Each structure stands twice: as structure tokens, then as C-alpha cells.
Amino acid sequence: MIKAVLFDLDNTLIDFMRMKTNSCEAAISAMIDAGLDIKKEKALKRLFNLYDKYGLEDNKIFQKFLKEEKGIIDYRILANAIVAYRNVRSSYLMPYPHTDFVLLKLKSKGIKLAIVSDAPRLKAWLRLMAMKIGNFFDIVVTFEDTKQLKPSNLPFEAALRRLKLKPQECLMVGDMPNRDIEGAKNLGMKTCFARYGNKKAGKSNADYEIKDIKELLKIVK
């Protein structure tokens, strides 16, 4: 019997890459409008190459981008980028359709809810509260809790300890087969692949696959 559902955050509860892409496009456009001499497509490619190198959560990615492009950090251009990025990000910071309904239904069944995310603690909480779903969760495990990224056992073990449950009593829902699914399976959890958050992935090896988060209610009866 499933007593808890553990969720990844980005691309499982929130369309993170859509938010990131649109926010970055706005930031690049703002930099160009402020005087940066570069084609938008080339700038976006170079920016995301930096994200690949330093991680999608890098707080100083625009500074690094400007240092590469101009040799210096032009703070007028930087400020324009940050303001544009934040303005667009806030408009896309919302959960996938049906998420609120599913979380409410699961809670009404007495199911415990948890987050197991590789995101930094503050950013994870900011996203959860901005989407107005933070109060649904009994526990939130982020990178700072174990200093280990999934599929390491440590984040999942931390969640199990705090939930006071056994692996077989838990279902992990995530969009990354090699992180969320593999990591949870290694400990004996049931797994559910959020296909809607990663349509390009191949075989997930999960116990279940869903194309809409509301399908989760058929699994957790």
C-alpha cells in the first residue's frame, strides 16, 4: 500500500525548461536592446552552453556570459537582463495543469507528500510558495540536506527517515529516468515516470508512466 508520494520538482510539478527558456530569451533581448552587439540566436546558444557548464541554477550566469562576450561586466546591460529575466520568470512560475487538484486529492486520502529535488533549498521553496503549493508537502528534501544529487541513495534515504516509512510504502514521481527513477528503484521504491515533463526520454524503466499528472490518481487508489 502506498502511504507517501515523493515528487521531483522541476519538470514534474513545474514546467521548468519552458520557464527557463522564455526567461532567458527575454534577458538576451534586453541585453541587445541595452547595447550588446550580438545576434539573439547566437547569444542564446552561448548562454545555454554556459548553463551546461555551470548548471541551470547558477546565480551569476549573466555575469559570466557578459565576461565572455565583452571581456568585462557592463552593469547597465546586466541589470536590464536580470530585470527582464525576473519579470518573465514570474509569469511562467506555475504548476502543470491539474497539479493542485491531484495534490489535494492525495492529501484527502491520507497520503503523505514529499519533494526530493536537486535544486538549492531556497530556490525550491521559492518556487513552491510562488506556485502556492508549498503547504501541501509534509517534507522537502533539497541539495543542501545531503550535498548529493540523485540518483545517490542519500536524498531518498533522507526523505524516508523524515517520513518514517519503508521504501515499498512510497512512490517516486519524476521526469529523469537516470536520476529520479533509477535512484528510487535502487532503494526499493515504486516509481512513476512523468512523461509529460520529458517527452524526449527513451525507455524509463519505471513501474508506471503518466502523460498527465492527474493519471497519478489511478495509480494511488
pTM of the model: 0.90
Model pLDDT for residues 133-192, shown as the tens digit of each residue? 999 999 999 999 999 999 999 999 999 999 999 999 999 999 999 999 999 999 999 999
**Domain spans in the chain, listed from the N-terminal domain onward:** 4-15+94-219, 17-92
- Confidence check: pLDDT of 60 > 90: yes
Model pLDDT for residues 84-126, shown as the tens digit of each residue? 999 999 899 999 999 999 999 999 999 999 999 999 999 999 9
Per-residue model confidence (pLDDT) at position 221: 82
Q: How far does the chain reach from its first CA to its final CA, in angstroms?
A: 9
**CB atoms < 10 A from the CB of 57, how many?**
14
- In the DSSP assignment, the letter for residue 152 is S
Express the helix, strand and coil content of the chain in percent, nearest 5 each. Answer: 55, 15, 30
- In the DSSP assignment, the letter for residue 173 is E
Q: What percent of the chain has pLDDT over 70?
A: 100
What is the spatial distance between Cα 100 and Cα 125, in angstroms, rounded to a whole number? 16
Set of cell numbers at residue 31: 541585453
Instruction: Fill in the amino acid letter for 126.
Output: L
Q: How confident is the model at residue 202 (pLDDT cuts 50, 70, 90)?
A: very high
Set of cell numbers at residue 108: 484527502
- What dihedral angle (degrees, nearest 10) is formed by the CA atoms of 177, 182, 188, 189? -30
* Domain spanning 4-15+94-219: CATH 3.40.50.1000: yes
Instruction: Please list the residues that pair with 16 across neighbouring strands.
Output: none
Per-residue model confidence (pLDDT) at position 64: 97
* Domain spanning 17-92: CATH 3.40.50.2300: no
- Between strands 112-116 and 170-174, the pairing is unpaired
Set of cell numbers at residue 140: 522537502
